[in-house]
Structure 1
Amino acid sequence: MEPSAGVREKFFIVLSGKSRKGFCRGCVGRVEAELQRGELTGLLYGSGGSSAGIPKSGGTVRREDTYPLTRHQAQLLLFVSPASKRLELLRNPQLFAAVCELSQDDLVVVKHKKGHLPALVKNLMQIGRKEDKDDLHLLGFEVELVDSDPSLSSKKPDPLPLFSAADIVQVVPSYSVPHGLQWKDGQCRGLNRKEVTRINSMPNIESHARKVRENRREQSVIQRSSTSHMSLEVGSMVEVVSNSGVTVYGVVQWLGVPERKTDQYAGIELEYEVNGCSDGRHGGKRYFTCKAGRALFVPVTKCKPDGRFICMSSGTENLNPADTPPVPPFEDSDEDAPPVPESEALSLLVGRMKGIQGHINSCYLDATLFSLFGSSVTLDNICRRPADMEKPVTCTLRKIVNCLRRQGFVPAESVMNFRKQLGCDTFRTEEKDPEEFITVLFQKVLCLEPLLKLRSGQETCQGAYTFQIFLAKEQMGPMPTVQQLLETSCLSGDLKFEETPSCLVIQMPRFGNKYKMFSHIIPSTELDITDLLYNSLRECFVCGHLAEYECLQCLPDRKLQPGRIKQYCSTCNVQVHTHPSRQGHSAKALAVPADAASDSPVRRHTMQLFAVLCIQTSHYVSFVKFGTDPHSWLFFDSMADRCGDDQRGYSIPVIRACPELGDFLSQPEEELACSNPSQASELVRRLLCDSYMFLYQKPATPLSKPYQQES
């Protein structure tokens, strides 16, 4: 074992920054001195081979580019090679914390040449020589693979394999192992490895957390037993004991009765790939979409609530959010991260502790940031201005976006710091409206000129960052589309867009948490604003020739496709208004260029839906489109679960894939208007009932130039 004097030593890992005197990203060092100018001088340890654990050089590194480690954490990370894998492990702070706490006979899942396999931790191994006081032993885990084939137990045992901390993909506490599962004889077997020493007892790292865990074991088992048959819903975190006795964990993505089955089944997206599992298909039919090898279909009676979360959130003691997780997610701010590619979005973003972590009424901000920067290509360039670096608040926003796109997780501390830098006390603790935040974000933080230029009648245009729908309820049907709401609102207020906006944020007609004008609103995945552009050529609603007149009174006419803008050429304007029910209409002349021919082609101007903000009982969530495929939709909730109480706990953000939105929205508009929302899936119902803001973009078009505020 290491000498007790080592507890005073300080170690660190380099997270970001350019290489300085040998220190590069992922390297591990030991602090020798802390300089007043915010720098550390220390020893750099070798990353592999015979030099691993031996200081090879010294140097200086900025403190802000490092994260402090205990000796035990440093030794675990030194055995991980290459250095990039160390950073990947740190990006999963909950997993790294669990690896640091591993005890003998804890059940883990390890990366193996045969795939992900369950195994029992048997020993903590010291690797390498220690010939000098500055040398470090590397630490690895000797594990026993769980063998489900009894016939193999008679074979001569092989040496126990050795794995690094990065090879462990899941940790299952020992009390989670089913009582009926019999493990093989746990007697240690010798290893003919050079310079490998077995440590007789596993170190007690994070002793407070371990004590809390031990004290709750008995209570947790009782609670899990009493809640094992509780009702499930889509989004529930569950565990399932496989036929071989291994517990797997996942999220319920589908509930129902599959074809050729009579019992109710749960379609579960597992945390890691398992042989024999699918990508969301069962019996040749697709029920949801996920990464191949992660979809498990089992009877609901086989599912239990995720015991790991029950253990964490039960009992009288509470975990301190300052202690959990022990390592913050890795952030690298040297280069701006592009939007997450569609092919990588599900693996990076979907799951627990994904997205932006909420804290103290921050859901309005979390959901808005995730909607704006989770995948939007149009909004990507606003974090790439050199002038942005002059503002601390903009620099913080840039780090949040980079962290989200690289690691898939942003800790609450980053968002709280951003709220504080916004400069308004109410932004720090109180819940605000996303419309107010968007205005402050674009105008004050990013210094962009208004995204919308609106012209009212013949007056000069005015700028805005969002578009609020104003209309009378009787002007629309019971379940309008966003296209109908926008067109009716613009015509009622005599408004036109001066130009096609690069980003259009439309706020629905609802006020406060209780009142909403429409119980359901159908999202328009493509928004056609051709007829809402000022001085733009438009085609006749009847014959398709160049339009010269527009009629607001024809808007609700049930014989003329109600809810859509009606504009006519001179001939059709006369003919349409000869009908007795339309003779009292007052058509308005459009401004048409004198040289425009009557058969001039009209270019359509459309925008694509990329996100929807929803609110229910003062809580904001968002749906975000992460690719071109109609099924590429994500659901994000920054406070889906919680660990601990309100004082000492922390929120658990969750992102779920929801391809069913694509199936629903791909239906013709006529079928959507006649659909019954109560028969739709949970997420589809939430989208239709709780929508508050719809975000549209014009692809591959930069945002407006920086806004020059008046002095």
Structure 2
Amino acid sequence: MEPKPVANEKFFLVIRGKSRKGFCRGCIGRVEAETQHGEIVGLVYCSSAGSPKNGGVVRREDTYPLSRHQAQLLLFVSTPSKRLELLCNPQLFTAICELTQDDLVVVKHKRGHMPAVVKNLMQIGRKESKEDLHMLGFEVELLESDHNVSSKKPAPLPLFSAADIIQVVPSYSVPLGLHWKDGKCGSLNRKPVSRINSMPNIGSRPVIENRTGQSVVHNQSLSTSQMPLEVGSMVEVVSNSGVTVYGVIQWLGVPGGKIGEWAGIELDYEVNGCSDGKYGGHRYFTCKGNRALFVPITKCSPDGRFVSSSGKGTKPPETPPVPPFEESDEDVPPVPESEALSLLVGKMKGIQGHINSCYLDATLFSLFSSSVTLDSICQKPTDEEEPITCTLRTIVNRLRRQGFVPAESVMNFRKQLGCDTFRTEEKDPEEFITVLFQKVLCVEPLLKLRSNREESQGAYTLQIFLEKEQMGRVPTVQQLLDTSCVSGDLKFEMMPSCLMIQMPRFGNKYKMFSHIIPSMELDITDLLYNSPRECFICGNLAEYECLQCVPDRKLQPGRIKQYCATCNTQVHTLPSRRCHSPSALTVPADVASDSPVSRHTMQLFAVLCIQTSHYVSFVKYGADPHSWLFFDSMADRCGDDQSGYNIPEVRTCPELGDFLCQPEEELAQANPAQAPELVRRLLCDSYMFLYQNAVMPICKPNNEEP
């Protein structure tokens, strides 16, 4: 089919997909023609010059449309990754595209994050032909301490790209006392620009500190709403440099040596010069270092990101219509593979996120969208059930019936859970899972673990503990589980119906392994207590287990080693193994030595991932190896932080199936940097792997009679 020409000039940015004939993620192109199969034929621009080069063909769904102005701004951004990062914050990018002369911004600078005034929009490079595309950058004036001192030879103004701007400040919010070189503040009658913040870590430069080291802020009137401020209130404070910082009031009172009421604020991000909750040598509360700010309460205002403004501004976006949902006596089964794509895939699909709810959204979507094993715990409620159980059932039924759950439903559930918090520190999935199964669903512990021959203990999730030296550079989940259980002398009392394994990573930054290979099938036969096991060497019934043989490089390191009596003697005749102390296994009396041993396996059905405090999930919705979904409850946003709403999105990712179908040896050699975007996220950001035994349902709630 011949492509049809495009009448108007159009530009685009490649946002995903494999490199195809000149196009790669983050590159900018110009549409030359479109095919009826949804593909774009285009030219590609190089950031070092504005001349287009031969591009190729790219799928429309793998591109993001750009105006000429947007394309010019992004072309000046140095790397494709920075362009994509900027595009992931559409509110900030929109505000940057609308900047005019004398707008106040915060830019990344070699001395940290600094406030600046936009002076000129500069064209970079020479345009030698009509097809060339000028790059655009911003010439700004930095607001430094000596900005009122005139100079006979003013230095040239620095030039910044769109990616260097991290915040756009409305002109009418410039604090009193801030004067620029021309002695004038921006006109308050100009078009207001909504504050858009990319939420940077501003710890690289003290922003609230004067020469004496005391915290100082400019006078700032209280919001017109006159909202009362109390412990737990979200507030904002404008610093000397014009940067607005946000936080939560943790303490109110009069500190020693001061007059009037002060507020102790735990900031959203670290700021040099702040403390961990101490002021004047006395501790008033406890938080992370460089996050505690103490200021008079009169300097605080309600957080403008969450308080509706009564002043002039753009009309808040209308919330998209939500289809009505009527409760029914009939519980909705998990979404079948044949209906998953039509019901779940797209924008405004899945569970809508709101105020750091991604840990909860991703977990609920993983557990209840397609899992067969967990379906048995979502049964018709009895008269004695708590309202919170009914709320959860409504969320699950709505997700399975309509493919979308609005944020209000989840917020109501969070309130009933007692974790309805507006703090930036969100809950962990394992903490939520324990509360969910224990307090809401009243389910017995999913795991019965026996350690050091002691009585078994219950748990809902399993944390991997091991030394990095015990594993290879790129471990599989199977290897991590085996090594962790062997190191801790841990066994499963019985075959679990659901096994949720937390990876060896701590907090948002530290990861023991740069990436982990998912095990599609998890074999736990050798981890079952008092269960028949086959000899590692000959396959007969095993009678001994040797922990010292696990890391042996001559015997498949990382694998659990158990032997029959004959093989146990032969293996330990080598001088290097004579010091080993194999332990006898409990062999069931009714099992013959040559009887085949049944393997006990579990299948991967979901993976929770985290990157920079944001949780997403991958869900296997069917038996086909390519049946994978990617869910992000906050994939996009409509409107600003004050009156907008998050747009959840569910995407198909069959490329994950292509990758995981490779032999394990090839997976271990794969380079995540060269893998498709979603494959890379799964390998590098995995937080918890969820496995199920499809033939074994979850046990009944402990408040029901059998």
TM-score normalised to structure 2 length: 0.58
List per-residue Cα deviations over 1:65-93 (Å, max 9, x = no partner): xxxxxxxxxxxxxxxxxxxxxxxxxxxxx
Contact 1:360 1:430 in 2 (8 A): no
Is 1:233 matched up with 2:233?
Answer: no
Once residues 363 and 30 of structure 2 are traced to their aligned partners in structure 1, the CA distance between those partners, rounded to angstroms, is 35
Is 1:657 matched up with 2:449?
Answer: no
Structure 2 unmatched runs, 5+: 18-24, 41-52, 64-86, 99-192, 195-312
Pick from 331, 341, 350: which aligns with 2:325?
Answer: 331
Is 1:320 matched up with 2:316?
Answer: yes
Is 1:612 matched up with 2:611?
Answer: no
Paired residue for 2:521?
526
SS at match of 2:656: helix
Once residues 345 and 39 of structure 2 are traced to their aligned partners in structure 1, the CA distance between those partners, rounded to angstroms, is 14
Equivalent AA in structure 1 for residue 661 of structure 2: S
Paired residue for 1:598?
593
Change (3 A) 1:483 1:246: closer
SS at match of 2:602: strand
Larger CA deviation: 373-382 vs 534-543: 373-382
Once residues 394 and 606 of structure 1 are traced to their aligned partners in structure 2, the CA distance between those partners, rounded to angstroms, is 31
Once residues 437 and 237 of structure 1 are traced to their aligned partners in structure 2, the CA distance between those partners, rounded to angstroms, is 40
Higher helix share: 1
Q: How does 1:638-677 map to 2 (within 5 A)?
A: 638-677=633-672
Paired residue for 1:267?
59
List per-residue Cα deviations over 1:613-633 (Å, max 9, x = no partner): 001111101100000000000
List per-residue Cα deviations over 1:357-388 (Å, max 9, x = no partner): 11100110011011101110111121114338
Change (3 A) 1:231 1:629: closer
Contact 1:239 1:247 in 2 (8 A): no
Once residues 233 and 546 of structure 1 are traced to their aligned partners in structure 2, the CA distance between those partners, rounded to angstroms, is 51
Once residues 425 and 649 of structure 1 are traced to their aligned partners in structure 2, the CA distance between those partners, rounded to angstroms, is 19
Is 1:351 matched up with 2:360?
Answer: no
Paired residue for 2:500?
505
TM-superposed CA distance for 1:667, in Å, is: 1.3
TM-superposed CA distance for 1:409, in Å, is: 1.2
Paired residue for 1:419?
414
Once residues 315 and 14 of structure 2 are traced to their aligned partners in structure 1, the CA distance between those partners, rounded to angstroms, is 27
SS at match of 2:59: strand
Paired residue for 1:360?
355
Once residues 688 and 498 of structure 1 are traced to their aligned partners in structure 2, the CA distance between those partners, rounded to angstroms, is 30
Contact 2:348 2:404 in 1 (8 A): yes
Once residues 466 and 634 of structure 1 are traced to their aligned partners in structure 2, the CA distance between those partners, rounded to angstroms, is 23
Once residues 335 and 28 of structure 2 are traced to their aligned partners in structure 1, the CA distance between those partners, rounded to angstroms, is 28
Pick from 379, 382, 401: which aligns with 1:406?
Answer: 401
Equivalent AA in structure 1 for residue 426 of structure 2: E
Once residues 270 and 231 of structure 1 are traced to their aligned partners in structure 2, the CA distance between those partners, rounded to angstroms, is 6
TM-superposed CA distance for 1:333, in Å, is: 2.2
Once residues 249 and 333 of structure 1 are traced to their aligned partners in structure 2, the CA distance between those partners, rounded to angstroms, is 43
Contact 1:449 1:708 in 2 (8 A): no
Q: How does 1:156-555 map to 2 (within 5 A)?
A: 228-230=11-13, 232-234=15-17, 263-269=55-61, 316=194, 317=313, 320=316, 323-325=318-320, 327-334=321-328, 335-387=330-382, 390-426=385-421, 430-555=425-550
Once residues 619 and 700 of structure 2 are traced to their aligned partners in structure 1, the CA distance between those partners, rounded to angstroms, is 26
Once residues 682 and 595 of structure 1 are traced to their aligned partners in structure 2, the CA distance between those partners, rounded to angstroms, is 52
TM-superposed CA distance for 1:645, in Å, is: 1.4
Equivalent AA in structure 1 for residue 626 of structure 2: H
Contact 2:476 2:518 in 1 (8 A): yes
Contact 1:454 1:496 in 2 (8 A): yes
List per-residue Cα deviations over 1:310-331 (Å, max 9, x = no partner): 989987555536x412x32332
TM-superposed CA distance for 1:642, in Å, is: 1.0
Change (3 A) 1:406 1:454: same
Equivalent AA in structure 2 for residue 554 of structure 1: C
Once residues 239 and 414 of structure 1 are traced to their aligned partners in structure 2, the CA distance between those partners, rounded to angstroms, is 41
List per-residue Cα deviations over 1:389-416 (Å, max 9, x = no partner): 7321111111111111121111111111
List per-residue Cα deviations over 1:261-307 (Å, max 9, x = no partner): 97343224499xxxxxxxxxxxxxxxxxxxxxxxxxxxxxxxxx99x
List per-residue Cα deviations over 1:187-231 (Å, max 9, x = no partner): xxxxxxxxxxxxxxxxxxxxxxxxxxxxxxxxxxxxx97xx3445
Once residues 442 and 230 of structure 1 are traced to their aligned partners in structure 2, the CA distance between those partners, rounded to angstroms, is 44
SS at match of 2:548: coil
Equivalent AA in structure 2 for residue 267 of structure 1: R
Q: How does 1:5-154 map to 2 (within 5 A)?
A: none
Pick from 684, 702, 707: which aligns with 2:702?
Answer: 707
TM-superposed CA distance for 1:595, in Å, is: 3.5
Paired residue for 2:579?
584
Once residues 344 and 231 of structure 1 are traced to their aligned partners in structure 2, the CA distance between those partners, rounded to angstroms, is 29
The share of aligned pairs that are identical, in percent, is: 72
Change (3 A) 1:641 1:240: farther
Contact 1:238 1:249 in 2 (8 A): no
Is 1:622 matched up with 2:588?
Answer: no
Paired residue for 2:627?
632
SS at match of 1:553: helix
Once residues 618 and 405 of structure 1 are traced to their aligned partners in structure 2, the CA distance between those partners, rounded to angstroms, is 27
Once residues 514 and 636 of structure 1 are traced to their aligned partners in structure 2, the CA distance between those partners, rounded to angstroms, is 22
Once residues 517 and 349 of structure 1 are traced to their aligned partners in structure 2, the CA distance between those partners, rounded to angstroms, is 34
TM-score normalised to structure 1 length: 0.58
Change (3 A) 1:428 1:705: farther
SS at match of 2:557: coil
Once residues 327 and 34 of structure 2 are traced to their aligned partners in structure 1, the CA distance between those partners, rounded to angstroms, is 45
TM-superposed CA distance for 1:556, in Å, is: 1.3
Change (3 A) 1:269 1:231: closer
Contact 2:531 2:588 in 1 (8 A): no
SS at match of 1:671: helix
Change (3 A) 1:247 1:486: closer
TM-superposed CA distance for 1:248, in Å, is: 8.0
Structure 1 unmatched runs, 5+: 1-147, 150-177, 182-223, 251-260, 272-304
SS at match of 1:592: coil
Paired residue for 1:161?
none
Aligned length: 443
Once residues 339 and 315 of structure 2 are traced to their aligned partners in structure 1, the CA distance between those partners, rounded to angstroms, is 33
SS at match of 1:390: coil
Contact 1:365 1:437 in 2 (8 A): yes
Equivalent AA in structure 2 for residue 266 of structure 1: V
Paired residue for 1:568?
563
Change (3 A) 1:425 1:657: closer
TM-superposed CA distance for 1:350, in Å, is: 1.4
Change (3 A) 1:236 1:340: farther
Once residues 429 and 477 of structure 1 are traced to their aligned partners in structure 2, the CA distance between those partners, rounded to angstroms, is 35
Once residues 379 and 428 of structure 1 are traced to their aligned partners in structure 2, the CA distance between those partners, rounded to angstroms, is 31
Once residues 411 and 236 of structure 1 are traced to their aligned partners in structure 2, the CA distance between those partners, rounded to angstroms, is 32
Paired residue for 1:193?
none
Contact 1:443 1:707 in 2 (8 A): no
Once residues 524 and 534 of structure 1 are traced to their aligned partners in structure 2, the CA distance between those partners, rounded to angstroms, is 22
Change (3 A) 1:345 1:505: same
